[in-house]
Structure formats: structure tokens, C-alpha cells
Copies of this chain bind each other. A is one copy, B any other.
Amino acid sequence: MAKTISPLQKARAAYKPKLPKALAAHGSAMKAAKGGVTESVADQKEIKALFPNTYGLPVVTFEDPAEGKPSAIKAGVILSGGQAPGGHNVIAGLYDGLKKINSGSELFGFLGGPSGLIDNKYVKFDDKFMDEYRNTGGFDIIGSGRTKLETEEQFDTVIKNCKALGITALVVIGGDDSNTNACMLAEYCARKNSGILVVGCPKTIDGDLKNEWIEASFGFDTATKVYGELIGNILRDANSAKKYWHFVKLMGRSASHIGLECAFKTHPNITLISEEIAAKKTTLLEIVNNIAAIVKKRAEAGKDFGVVLVPEGLIEFVPEMKALISHLNDMLSHTPEIDTLDGDDQKIGFIVGRLSSASAETSSAFSCLPKSIQRQLLDDRDPHGNVQVSRIDTEKLLIEMVDTVLGEWKAKGEFKGKFTTVSHFFGYEGRCAAPSNFDADYCYSLGYTASSLLADGLTGYLSSIRNLTKPADQWIAGGIPLTMMMNLERRHGMDKPVIRKALVELDGKPFKEFAANRDTWAMEDDYQYPGPIQYFGPSEVCDVTTATIQIERS
């Protein structure tokens, strides 16, 4: 720990997260009210066969206190995958919940993510240690990691390590993949009669772990508030200087929820949604032409400025680019002689020659890329020789291509404006922000509820807090069987059971709301400035969660 903490950290350390009314009134020792038998979202037969012990469990809710005093619980917890604001509060809620159930309960934190469970590296929480991390951002309390827990050998090691410590319950704080693996572990532990329960908590700033029963993943609210603050400031700067087009790339390889939420918060001129591009099979040149058309139209209105939001994973959603990448990887692995060629021009010429004799589509996809990106694709490959799509600076690629198109239009007298650009990438700026009041409350409630699930002897569940658009005291705590969110997906040539990822749905309310407004936002400067996250002010400023969930649940 640091020697001193900031004034805001001091003030926030005293914050008491809000809980759903039932938990606030009765504590974490609750009686689970059980619904009927559940089914997985698809592939019911296969999922049931794979999870005989954890399939079909009921949805549970917590409204009444448990009868009698539950025994003490020795539990372990891990943080898994990328950081998200509020992770520390999940642990705080879990810790407090376990102690409330029985003051003899103990909580162990496994270090550095799932690998801590395998390597048996852990800390034991006590009040002093826990208090240092309440309402703080980051995952530094016990660290996180990306090791995948999925083999039976790993599961046996986990069981062995837990038994040695007397641990009978594990909480996995993670995204869709981590919770898929938590479910496999729960199933394995049940099958082996290990006596170890496993429950998950839904984490990810990307917002793509949600469904009918899980209204939001934690961290999405805070991260989008940070990005919204910055985008708002940049919009204000654009509207003050009136001479720059800002291209802002937003973290997130798959879903475009972050971009959509930031669009609602700030009304930028252009927001690209990867899912729409994939669905409409928009080509890269079409995307570029669409942006250039708006730049031109704004220039005609005297406005040589604007802001464009670009999802990080865009390139992989553009159909012909996806084909190009796979084609390039295939070709590069069969033509090692390319690395003996001297100079970029020769390498690029070699590739163009090969591509054009193989496929007109991928050849033209490669040719339309700026030379700097062609060079990057060929030079900057991973240890397996594959091109690194994630390393492409998509926002700079778009800037360069839009600039080229506008240059052509200018030569023909069709564009008379200026196109001066600035690029940004926001991701790390928000992943470890201190949680908003919403995330502080939501995370604490998720962790607290996880302890209730464990006290009830439940396994294979995801901790669930519903009714999130209402004030916290009206939230409903409970648990959702992990198998209920699963389907089979093709991974590495095999059908695997996984939690279905929630991409932006083009027929969903949020996208429709966005689509209905984007033409106005493109031309009129209807910029919104959400400002920084506030912790102490009026409730409508401090406690309200995302526009996305408000629209979804409206």
C-alpha cells in the first residue's frame, strides 16, 4: 500500500454501499425462494448431458431470512480476466456477507487470478486489509490473471488445494469465459462429491455479459462514465477550437456496447457499431466513404470539426477484412521466403501478387489499406507468424483512408473543407477507476448475495441483482443457474458449452434509439457533457446508471 492516500480516497473509504432492502434488513443468511426448473438458452439436450449435476436448477431470490443460524463458511475468491471498476467491492460484500452469516467464516483470496488456485498462492482477509480496499478501483487487492481453468487435472488440483485449506466454497469474479469455466468447475466438484460449491459474479466493462436475467455486468457503468467524461470534454474542445476531427477508439474487442452507451451520454457526430457493420456486410471502403460524406456535409455547413467513436474490434467485424486476415495468415505460413525479401515495397509487392492470383476480394481489401498498415501487418507478427489484427490502430487507419477519399473529392472540387485530425484511445483510463456509487453498491450487493448463495448450499450459480434501474433498496437479490445462459459454440473446431455473449442487437431498443438519432447528431452539435463521476451530489447526478439499461428496461 501507498504511504498516503488522496483526499477523495479518504472520503470514499467511509462510504457504506447500499444493499437491496431484504439483505439490508435481514443480513446475508437468507432463505432461497426457488422458481421452477430452468433450461439453457439453446442446445438444451447437449448442455444437460454435459452438466448433469448443475443443469435445470431453479432461479432463486432472497427475500426472507434463513431459519436458524448457518454454520461458518471457509471460502476462496478469485478475480479473473481484465480489470473492471468495483471488483474490490464484490470481495468486500462477500467478506461482510460471510462474516454476517457467521463470524467464524473465513475468506481466502487467491493471487493473480485462476493461477493462484492452481499454485496455491493466497492471502487470508481480515478487517484491516479489507478496509483498505473498500470502494476503490483496480484489482490490485489480490491481482487478476487470464489462466483458463478448464481441464480436469486443473480441477483436481483446485479441489486438493481447497481441501488442504478447509475451503468449501469458491467465488469466481469474471466475464463470460471465466463464468463458463466456473460452471465446469462447479459441475466437476459436484460430480466428484468434493463438497466444494462454486458461484460466479458477472464482471466486464465491455457490457457483453448480460441477458434476460443478468441486467448488467459490473464495471460497465463506471468505465463508460469515465469514457463519457473524456469524450464530452473532447466534444467541448472540438466545438471550441472548431478545427479538429477527433477519432476516439474505445476498448473492447467484441461488442460495441461501450460505444453505444458513450453515444447516448455525449451525442458525438459519428459512432461506428461493429455489429451493424457485420450484419450489413459493410466494406471498409463503405465505412470510410460514409465518414467522409459526413465530414463533407459538415464542412458545407461551415463546420470543419467533429468527433467519431470507433470500437476497438471493428476490423474483425468487417467481412472482407476478416477474410483478408485469415487469408494472409494462411499465405504467410506457407511462404516463409517473404521474410528474406529486402524492404517493405518488395514485401508488399510479393503479397499483392500472391493475393491477386488467389482471390480478387481479399486482394482488393489489402490494396485499399494505407501503406503504413500494410507494412504493419507484414512486419509486426506474433510468435506464430500470424498478423496481429489487434495491433492495428483502427482509428488511425480510418483517418488515413478518410483523408485519401477527401483528397480525391477535393481534387474534383467536391470537398472544400479542411480535415485536421487528432486520435485517441480510451481503455486503460477507465478499467481501474474507482467505482461509481452504482457500481460500488451493485458490486457490494453481488458479493453479499454470493455469500447468501453459498450459505444456502447452492452451486453453479451466478450472483444476480435485478431491478437495477430503481434505487438500490428496490433491487432484488438472487441467483441464476449458470447453465441457463449456455449454448454450444464452435471453438477451435469443437463444439463447446459457453455462456452466450451479448452483442449489440440491431433490433434491440438501445440500437434503435441510437439509429433514430444519429443523423441529427451527425449534423447538429447536440453535444452533451456528462462530466466526471460524482460521489456526493444530488442523486440524479450520482446514483443513476447507464442509458443502455434504462432504455433496455423501459
Determine whether the beta carbon of A525 is less than 8 Å from that of B246: no
Which residue in B11, B139, B244, B345 is a CB contact (below 8 Å) of A537?
B11
Q: Judge whether A54 is part of the interface by a CB distance below 8 angstroms.
A: no
In the complex, which residue of chain B has the Cβ closest to the Cβ of A527? B2
A246-B427 Cα distance, complex, nearest whole Å: 12
A532-B223 Cα distance, complex, nearest whole Å: 12
In the complex, which residue of chain B has the Cβ closest to the Cβ of A2? B526
What 0/1 pattern do residues 114 to 154 of A give for CB contact below 8 A with B? Answer: 00000000000000000000001111100110000000000
Determine whether the beta carbon of A533 is less than 8 Å from that of B530: no
Q: Judge whether A250 is part of the interface by a CB distance below 8 angstroms.
A: no
Oligomer copy total: 2
Q: Judge whether A358 is part of the interface by a CB distance below 8 angstroms.
A: no
A302-B273 Cα distance, complex, nearest whole Å: 41
Which A508-554 residues sit within 8 Å CB-CB of chain B?
A: 525-538, 540-541, 544
Number of interface residues of A (CB under 8 A): 63
Determine whether the beta carbon of B343 is less than 8 Å from that of A83: no
Which residue in B2, B144, B226, B237 is a CB contact (below 8 Å) of A432?
B237
Q: Judge whether A340 is part of the interface by a CB distance below 8 angstroms.
A: no
A241-B87 Cα distance, complex, nearest whole Å: 13
Q: Judge whether A234 is part of the interface by a CB distance below 8 angstroms.
A: yes
Determine whether the beta carbon of A2 is less than 8 Å from that of B428: no
Q: Judge whether A8 is part of the interface by a CB distance below 8 angstroms.
A: yes
Determine whether the beta carbon of B422 is less than 8 Å from that of A233: no
What 3 pairs between A and B have smallest CB-CB spacing?
A532-B532, A536-B537, A236-B432
Could you jot down 19 A-B contacts, CB within 8 Å? A2-B527, A5-B528, A6-B529, A6-B530, A6-B531, A8-B531, A11-B538, A83-B237, A83-B240, A136-B529, A138-B239, A138-B240, A140-B240, A230-B230, A236-B432, A433-B532, A434-B529, A534-B534, A535-B537
A interface residues with partner B (beta carbon < 8 Å): 2-9, 11-12, 83, 136-140, 143-144, 226, 229-230, 232-234, 236-237, 239-242, 244, 246, 265, 267, 343, 345, 422, 424-425, 428-434, 525-538, 540-541, 544
